[in-house]
Amino acid sequence: MPLFDLPLADLRRYTPAVAEPADFDDFWSATLAETRGHALAPVFEPVDIGLELVEVFDVTFAGWAGEPVRGWFMAPAGRPGPLPCVVQFQGYGGGRGLPHQWLYWANAGYAHLFMDTRGQGSGWSVGHTPDPAGSAPAHPGFMTRGIEDPETYYYRRVFADGVRAVEAARAHPRVDPERVAVTGVSQGGGITIAVSGLVPDVAAAMPDVPFLCDFPRAIQITPKDPYTEIVRYLTVQRDKVEAVMRTLSYFDGVSFARRAAAPALFSVGLMDMTCPPSTVYAAFNSYAGADKSIIEYPFNNHEGGGAFQEREQLNWLRARK
């Protein structure tokens, strides 16, 4: 896969003037107030899957509109806490999967809440959280569900769920609420940035090859899904361009990054055609927190650093205990 985006020197200083609506903060304040109008009601049901070193709980909490969101909560066995915690968000099309897939953080001594993504979970990893909301006509996938209006857009619900996942983790008696970090790959990285902007007192943010950033550039330069779901929608819905771009301006990771304060560790694949490097740098260079760094993988596509990045994350997070 050849390099196709801006030269590295240009990437490192690329800071686009991504427009944001004047009522961006009011929109999200109202969204979270509406979400928090429902009791969080977190439930942690113990699950015996045969593990001796990690305790597993099936999690349910109230997300957007009070609708139940599922997840897994894991903690090192015999460690009463309070523990630092990592809240993790899933990549596009995947669900929470099975708990034995997510043992890394618990084995490193952290509590770990893995959030299911509403409506997803049949692309490559199973999910268990429905998305009851309907949608006007949309392209197959999730990128254009409700896209004609920010009030109905799919990611309004997902980002609200992400904020509630942090609140659910903080509600667990074994979690130190002041030491909750957020992370995720691709879509999970985009949710990580959004949550970091909406919950500025998270302890740390670790977005890997993040999706959902710099929409205006992304939909123009990449030939890969999921961004091209929007392109294909607009090739049919020719008169919806202005409405779509207005909606996306409420959900751009660049705008959330401008509001984030937590220490942050990003990663980018310089040959990534799914989340082009310039869109990752758009969020990184706009990130308001002073303590931030990015690891570049020069010869990697959207897989980014994979296990190498997980190793980097653990070392980086341990240094911030």
Q: 204-238, pLDDT tens digit by residue?
A: 999 999 999 999 999 999 999 999 999 999 999 99
Number of domains in the chain: 1
pTM listed for this prediction: 0.98
pLDDT confidence tier of residue 136, bands split at 50, 70 and 90: confident
Within a domain: 45: yes
- 251 touches 212 (CB < 8 A): yes
Count Cβ atoms within 10 A of the Cβ of residue 47 and give its class: 0-12 exposed, 13-18 middle, 19 or more buried.
middle
Confidence grade of residue 82 (pLDDT, cut at 50, 70, 90)? very high
Measured from the Cβ of residue 113, the count of other Cβ atoms closer than 10 Å reads: 30
Catalytic: 302? yes
Residue for token pair 């999970």: 188
Would you say residue 124 lies in a domain? yes
The answer on whether 92 is annotated among ligand-binding residues is yes
**Within-domain flag for 224:** yes
Is the Cβ–Cβ distance between 54 and 78 less than 8 Å?
Answer: no
Q: Which amino acid is at 7?
A: P
- Give a yes or no: residue 129 inside a domain: yes
Residue at 2 is within a domain: no
State the catalytic residue, choosing from 186, 196, 249, 278. 186
Cβ neighbors of 80 (< 8 A, separation 6 or more) are 174
Q: Identify whether 1 is part of a domain.
A: no
Catalytic position from the list 112, 139, 172, 302 = 302
Range of the domain at 150: 8-319
CATH number at residue 245: 3.40.50.1820
